[in-house]
Each structure stands twice: as structure tokens, then as C-alpha cells.
Structure 1
């Protein structure tokens, strides 16, 4: 039996679960929701099994009679169970009794929001700190608290980060041989198109067009490209293009499957800034999915970095590295009750890759640099942000692919991605 490895989310679950009557762990398939929830469950109801669905359909009170905590796994296979749990909570179920794991209900299913009864918690693919390849020395929560200490060194280099981009953060996939890993990721994407879309109530008439749209979305990783431009890229040369409503349905289905993890634009709490862009920055759930959709393995990404004249390949590694950073920062920030977004002015003169907003409203500004050194030019947008928002900026950080964590003379912290943790 494989030993369970704790996730960043476990710390929040330790603190919250004993006091919450019901919580849900949601996220894309394969991220480890069931493994994490099972560690805390005395009873498991697996709704991927028809017999379990039949039992609950016939007698919903079974849920309240089972010894708790009760894990209701794959709840979206029987959406009625959501309301059954809500009613059990309203009837006085004890604290810590219910854990639901799964994704969103299929389109058309009528369920109560669960607000005030079922507390949602998101699980993403493994952050870099959760992959156990390096010991972090810089805590994001400490930075948000105003800690100025930044130190440590790492042995990880560009090739290691490229390996992590392509290996994926899916626990069952990342440890496989590289060729098997690629086959598993391809199968994962095929399953999304051929099975999960229809199960969510989105029949796919032209699977090839959906795959092309996904590849175009992957090519737009870490950009704010409009959905119309993504559609044009996906259907270049195609006379019978899908309607806009069809591609919006693609987005809705992927969102319901938690396969999109877009960075929203930052909306400042104070009126320090105006004319900010309102477009989200595009990310799939895992950069490995984007790499597979683009047909890029580790060797291809490294060739591009080493001087390919193909511009699209030459820029995609930086975009995927930024995606890996965003995936990790999302996980760490949520553990610290922070929110992650990005900043871009409408005229595109200034942008900051990641804005982590603390519960008190102050922010951490983060730039991402795929390089082994940080130059003055790499910090200019952070200085602009500091000039504009003053003390509301807790700290300014550049996350890069170099060796050492340190603080520059201009007071900007420089941290290798491998050394950043929750």
C-alpha cells in the first residue's frame, strides 16, 4: 500500500473539518481528492458504484446513520445527494460529519447552493513544494505576514523545472516513465473530450474541433487572449466554424470539471489605480496538460529555450514556467487565506504577473522570470506598483529559476521557485 503524503490542504482541513458539519473538496479528476478525504473518513459512500446510488435513492437517511466522518465520493454522479447532505445538516448532523468529494453537478441538475451548510475547499494538482523534490526555505504565509527573511539555495536548475512542467502534478501520473506519462496524459485529455463532456451535459459533435480549441487555449497559457482569438487560432482555415455559443459551452464545461484555473484581474480595494485591464489570464489545471496539447515534451521545450527560431515554441516555456508558479502560489496563498490575481493596465504598459491579496486587503506583488539571474529591468513593474500603492504593498518578489534566495539592494526579494513554500 502506498503511504499517504500530506497535502498543503491538510493543514486547513485539520483546523476546519472538526468544526464544520459538511465540507466539499473539489477539483479536477486525479488530483488526490479521494486519497485526502479517505484519511479522515470512518465511512465511505462511493457514488461511482450503481449499487451505492440505488441505496441512497431508496433511503437517503442512510447518510445520517453511518458512523462519521462520512465521505461521499464522486457526488456529482448522483447530484441529489448534495441536497440530502444539506438537509441532514439542517436537521442537526454533528460537526465534522460529512465530506463530499468530486466536481460540479452536470448541467441541468437542480441543487441547492449549499451556502452556509457545505463549505467548499479546492484541491489542485501538486504544487512544487508538495512534490518533495526540495525543502522550501521561504514561506509565502510569512511573506504575507511581513517577514523580511529570505535565504537558502537550491540545486534545481532549468532542466529540473522543465521536467516538473511535463511530469504533471497528478500524483498517479508523475512517477511513471516519461513515455507512459505522456500516454496517460493523452488518455486523460481523451477522456475529457469523449466521456466527461457528455457526462456534464455537453455533447461534443466534433471532437477534433474541441481538441483544436483546447490546443489553442494551451497556446494562450499565461496570456489574456480573448476567446474569439482562441477560437480563430483553433479553426484557422475551417469554413464551418463553431458558433460562439459552442465555444462558450466548452469553457463552461471545462470550468465545471475544474480544468480551467484562470487568474482573475486584480480589483484594488482602494482607489490607487485606474484603467486596469479586466481580462483573466489563461491557465489549464496543470501545465503538463498544456504541454501535451501542444505536443511538447521536455526535450522540445529545452530545444526551444536554447535558440529555436520558432517564436511560438520560443515563448511557450516561459509561459508554462509561469503557469507552474501560479499553480504553486494558488495553493500556498489559499492556505494563508489569500487570493491570487494578476495586474495589467489597459494600455499594457505595466503588468505584474501575480498579486496575492492578504485577508486584510494589503498585497504581495510577484513577478516571474525564467532565468538564473534577475536584472534591474525585471523589477521595474514592482517598483511602479510600490510607487502607486505605497504601504498597501507588503513586499515585492521575483520568482526565478536560479540558485539563491536573497534580497536585492532595491529591497525586492528574489526567490527560486523550488524554495518557495506555504
Structure 2
């Protein structure tokens, strides 16, 4: 068993343990270095009925390739780490759980969106549950509730919070730190920068080549840098193709690969019958704000700073979507008239919580323009609207609208 180093409790641990109790195959999926193996070990700690297989070990990997069925033939729960390294195991796992449907047969970890890989021969409908492990949230780092989504849908704009002691520089430090456990542990900026450099080198030399063969690694590196400069903005494939001198089809393929390995995330556009002029273009954000900030070192302007803080906020919201009691989906909104809202949370009843993100320490009435527009168009479906900003106070700005410090994302709890 591999020992955890300075383990920080993860919100996903409860989800994994709950799934193991009633689901045959549980998959912990996510980016490299988010702590998937550590989480899996933590969830199985103290159990004697566990067999562990680590596919980063060459001998273990050779055994799995040689005879997948024999490799899996054990009566206990099996933990398979980095399962995407041996795609042949997938059908063997499917056959094994079809013959023996007991829950908790397999706990798998992987550093790619496994069910989207073309190398996998089949999915596991009805047999598996996938839990995405993102970089650490601020609540996980600081031991805070991380309950903004539940609070917003329960209390509307009447959140109960005291003044925040954080200022813009504090949020920018959080943005630059990001949430990869190893980056969080490294307090010196120079050492953290070395981690991000090594991380990107590993992405290029290992992760990308595990899921696809690319002809020109230099084009991929240039694309990653260009995407960092646009994080928090609308994705424009044609502009990227023109700016980089890379064919449009290649840009689309490469962005798809970067999604598969969890380097970036596309936030889908939101629309309804009441917002017929909405655009369908997704918003692009990096999975970790610290990595994006590293790529933008030396490039500082209002656009990049605003994009990084928005990436940070959307990342915190995305993490909470995974564990909040309120089942919601995360979108963004923009229409043909230039009206936009940075984040839209929609629950199963169709209620909307809309969020605008500002990198400033003050808020103006005009910052609520997009929120007011949606409120007028949606009527009773509009539950609450917030401007999250770098200031210290929660203040009302009309019925159902308020500004709150960004720290409300992790200090709120219901």
C-alpha cells in the first residue's frame, strides 16, 4: 500500500465510499496529480479484502496485457491505478462484473476521461459510477464548508456571512497557487513554478501520447499557451487557427485532447425559450488556475487578470457541483446583443442562480446589467443573482440581487 503524504480530506471521499456500497465498478477520474491514488487508498484504508494493482509498474502492466481475465481473477475488491494504461482490461472488467454482480468489485483510477477514449472497446452502462476528482477546492485546503451552491438555492440572495478579510491580492495569490496538492504544499513561488513546468512536460511526454498520436508537439505547446491567454473567455476555434497558423481541424482535435486529459474545461452555453438570442459558443477555462497563471507569467493586464479570477471562481463552482445536495448544472450565458453572465446554475426544477465575477474591490450598479436582464426575462425562474468580487462586504442591489465577496464560495454552508 502506498502511503499518503499530508493527506487533506477530500469531499469526494464520501461519494466514493457510498458508490462502493452499491455499484460494481467505481471510477475515480481526473487530471494527473489531483490525488486520485491517494483518495482511493484512503477510501479502502483498514480493509483486508483488497488487492491493489498499480499499472505504472512495468511488470504489473505486462501481466495485465498478457492475460486480462487472469489478472482480474480475485475474490476481493481490486484497486487498479491508472487503468487507462491497459485498455484491454475494460472488456475483461465488464465480463467479470456481469458474471459476479456484487457491489464494490473494482475501484479504478485514471488520468483521462475514460469513457471518451477511442481505445476503450465498450462502456459499462448500469455497472459503473464515475467520480471526477478535481484539484483541491479552497474549502478542502482551508477546512471550510464549500457550501455556496446549496446556500444560494436555499437562501437566495440573503446569504448569512460576515465581512471578509481577504482582498484582491489575497485572491490573486490563491489563483496563482491553484489546487494541485503538490503545488499547494510548495510555499515558495519558484518551487511552485518548477512543479508547473514539470507538470506540463509530463502532460506532453506521457498523457497526450497515451490517448492520441500527435504529429507536432510544438503546435500543441503553442496552443496551450494561447488558451491560457484566453482562459475565462469564449472559445473561438477560427481565431486560434488563424493566430497560430494551424489548420482548423487540428485545433479542434487538439482542444478535444486537452479536454480528455483534464487540462481544460469547456463550460456550455445556456439558453431557454425566454433567451432566444443566446449564443451557443462554449466558454474555455483551465482546470487549474495556478497552471494557467504559470503560463501567463510576465503577461499582466486587466484581461488576463480578470480571466484568471473568473477561471478560479468557475473552478470552485465546478467542484461544488460534484458534491452539493442541490443537483445543478453549470453554464454561462451570452447573447447576440453582447449581454453576458459569467456563470449560470440551473437546478432540476429549472430555477436559476446567476453569477457575475469581478476582479475589482468595488462594485458598480452597471455590473448587474446582465443579471437584471435575465431576471426580467426569466421571472419566477430567476432565484438569485450575485456579483462575486474582491471586496469585503455583502450588499443588496435590488430584489434578488446582491454583491458578495468571492470567499462566500467556500465559507458558506447550510
SS at match of 2:403: strand
Matched, 1:58 2:67: yes
Instruction: Give the CA deviation at 1:64.
Output: 4.8
Give the one of 1, 5, 24 matched to 1:2: 5
Matches within 5 A, 1:92-241: 92-102=100-110, 103-104=112-113, 108-132=118-142, 135=144, 139-146=148-155, 148-176=158-186, 177-205=188-216, 207-233=217-243, 235=244, 241=245
CA-CA distance at 1:396 after TM superposition: 1.1
SS in 2 for 1:40: helix
Shift of residue 324, structure 1, vs aligned partner: 0.1
- Unmatched 5+ stretches in structure 1: 236-240, 305-312
> Which deviates more from structure 2 when the two are superposed, residues 105-114 or residues 162-171?
105-114
Q: Give 2:296's aligned residue.
A: 294
Match in the other structure for 1:330: 318
- Distance verdict in 2 for CA 1:388–1:97, change over 3 Å: same
Per the TM alignment, residue 96 of structure 1 is displaced from its structure 2 partner at its CA by: 2.3
Task: Give the 3-state SS of the residue equivalent to 1:192 in structure 2.
Answer: helix
**CA deviation after TM superposition for structure 1 residue 398, in Å:** 1.5
Instruction: Give the TM-score normalised by structure 1.
Output: 0.87
CA, structure 1 residues 72+51, in 2 after alignment: closer, same or farther (shift >3 Å)? Answer: same
Distance 1:346 1:23 in 2: 42
Q: Distance in 2 between matches of 1:87 and 1:415?
A: 52
Q: The residue matched to 1:283 in structure 2 has which SS?
A: strand
Q: Secondary structure at the match of 1:356?
A: strand
How many Å apart are 1:408 and its aligned residue?
3.9
Q: Distance in 1 between matches of 2:279 and 2:89?
A: 40
Given that 1:193 and 1:204 are in contact with CA atoms closer than 8 Å, whether structure 2 keeps it comes out as: no
How many angstroms apart in 1 are the aligned matches of 2:39 and 2:348? Answer: 26
Is the alpha carbon distance of 1:333 and 1:51 closer, same or farther for their aligned partners in structure 2, counting shifts above 3 Å?
same
- 2:248 corresponds in structure 1 to 244
**Does 2:323 align with 1:340?**
no
- After superposition, the Cα gap between the structure-2 partners of 1:357 and 1:135, relative to the gap in structure 1 and judged at 3 Å, is same
Deviations 1:259-290 (A, max 9, x none): 1211110133xx22202100000112112222
Where does residue 340 of structure 2 map in the other structure? 351
Aligned residues, how many? Answer: 396
Shift of residue 372, structure 1, vs aligned partner: 1.9
Contact preservation (8 Å) 1:21, 1:94: yes
**TM-fit CA distance, 1:409:** 4.4
Q: d(CA) in 2 for partners of 1:137 and 1:330? A: 11
Structure 2 unmatched ranges of 5 or more: 45-49
1:387-398 matches, cutoff 5 A: 387-398=376-387
Match for residue 360 of structure 2 among 371, 382, 399: 371
Rounded to whole Å, the distance in 1 between the matches of 2:154 and 2:93 is 37
Q: Secondary structure at the match of 1:380?
A: helix
Quick one: distance in 2 between partners of 1:13 and 1:108? 26
CA contact (8 A) 2:328 2:346 kept: yes
Question: Structure 1 residue 90 and structure 2 residue 98: aligned?
Answer: yes
| Cα distance, 1:116–1:282 mapped onto 2, change above 3 Å | same
| Residue-by-residue CA offset, 1:15-63 (whole Å, 9 max, x unaligned) | 4331111121111101111111111233321111122223333252443
Deviation at 1:138, TM superposition (A): 5.8
Corresponding residue for 1:309? none
- 2:286 aligned counterpart, secondary structure: coil
Residue among 37, 42, 57 paired with 2:40:
37
CA distance in 1, matches of 2:248, 2:332: 26
Q: What is the alpha-carbon root mean square deviation over aligned residues?
A: 2.2
1:331 is displaced (CA, Å) by 0.8
After superposing the two structures, state which structure 1 stretch, 271-280 or 8-17, moved more: 8-17
1:315 aligned counterpart, secondary structure: helix
Report deviation, 1:136. Answer: 5.2
* Partner Cα distance (1:335, 1:197) in 2: 29
Q: Give CA-to-partner distance per residue, 1:203-229, whole Å, 9 cap, x none.
A: 342x33222211111111111141121
The 3 A distance-change label for structure 1 pair 278 and 173 is same
Q: 1:273: which partner in 2?
A: 275
Cα distance, 1:194 vs. partner?
A: 3.0
How far 1:73 sits from its partner (Å)?
0.9
Displacement, 1:86? 1.9
Q: Which residue of 1 aligns with 2:266?
A: 262
